Amino acid sequence: MVKVSIGVPVYNVEAYLRECLDSIMNQTFKDFEVIMVDDGSTDNSFNICQEYVARDNRFKLIHQENKGLAGARNTCLKHMKGECITWIDSDDKVEPNYLERLLEVQTETQADLVDGYNYSFKNGIRYYYDLTHISPTLDVIEISKRELFLRFLDGFRIVLWGTLAKRKLYRGVYCAEGKNHEDNGTRFKLYFRADKIVILPEQLYGYRAEREGSIMTNRVNNKSLETKLIEYNDIFFNLENFVYFMEVSQSQDVIDRIHQQYLGYLYSLSKTDLEGQNEEKYENYTTKYRNRRQKILD
């Protein structure tokens, strides 16, 4: 059995793809497979992936009609054979010791899930973050499921990339297709099966902050109210899913805090990106979620 399966969903990233795949090929740890899923790219991405398959037999390529990022991740999961799983988005890159360090920590701690961190890069400049609020000495730390769940609604590590998890944690876990922010609706499910979770406060994953057309770029662009509400609907879908899992699995004090956090999130949603648009329609849209959640509390 190969030690690590690396999932790389691919869609129209020809400008960045070689940098990503080169960073994987140049890993100091060698016992891995790369599952690339070309999700119906219309640029040269598929041909670039074929180049790496021809160069290195650890790279495997599946082509499918466009199903979105969640659909590409689900296809990756069907073909992964490794003892552990990690994800690398096809417009990002990783440091040469990315796998080596994650596996070193996993071996030392016997953790089921190792949560790493990222730096951002844009126009050739790297931006690193102060992680002393996570671990004052920047040492590896263990974190409880309870603490993770309570931090979830504060946006604590909701991405799938940059994490090393035992493959057994993914059994029966799939991303909701047709939804943006699929990480939000999937990541927390891994915690239920993990007996031990540790955080590695080292920034070994490079997140590309400059890509045009990315989800994060699109969110700050000027969009119609209807388009923004669709995006909010995906966020609410994932959060409602998370809250439901908490209600059937956690103690009452955790459930109460999760409910209050969710209500706080709904009240705090910024309207700045809706300036000059139909704020009344937006208010009516979010109010139904607040009322439904408040009714459960009452």
Using one digit for the tens of pLDDT, what is the confidence trace for 178-192? 766 666 667 778 888
Quick check: 218 pLDDT over 50?
Answer: no
| The pTM of the whole model exceeds 0.85 | no
CA dist., res. 53 & res. 58, Å (int): 7
The pLDDT of residue 62 is: 98
Find out whether 174 and 74 touch, Cβ atoms under 8 Å: yes
Residue 123: both structure tokens together: 């126009």
Q: How many CB atoms lie within 10 A of CB 40?
A: 18
The pLDDT of residue 155 is: 56
CA dist., res. 135 & res. 47, Å (int): 43
The pLDDT of residue 291 is: 67
Quick check: 132 pLDDT over 80?
Answer: yes
How would you label 195-209 residue by residue, b for 16+ Cβ within 10 Å and e otherwise?
A: eebbbbbbbbbbbbb
Quick check: 215 pLDDT over 60?
Answer: no
The pLDDT of residue 195 is: 93
Mean pLDDT is highest, among 23-27, 144-148, 153-157, 175-179, for 23-27
Taking residues 247-252, report their average pLDDT.
Answer: 74
| Pairing of β 113-122 and β 197-208 | parallel
User: Between 128 and 296, whose confidence is greater?
Assistant: 128
Find out whether 181 and 238 touch, Cβ atoms under 8 Å: yes
Find out whether 72 and 49 touch, Cβ atoms under 8 Å: no
The pLDDT of residue 90 is: 97
Average pLDDT, the chain: 83
Question: For the segment 267-291, what is each residue's pLDDT rounded down to a tens digit?
Answer: 665 554 554 555 666 666 666 666 6
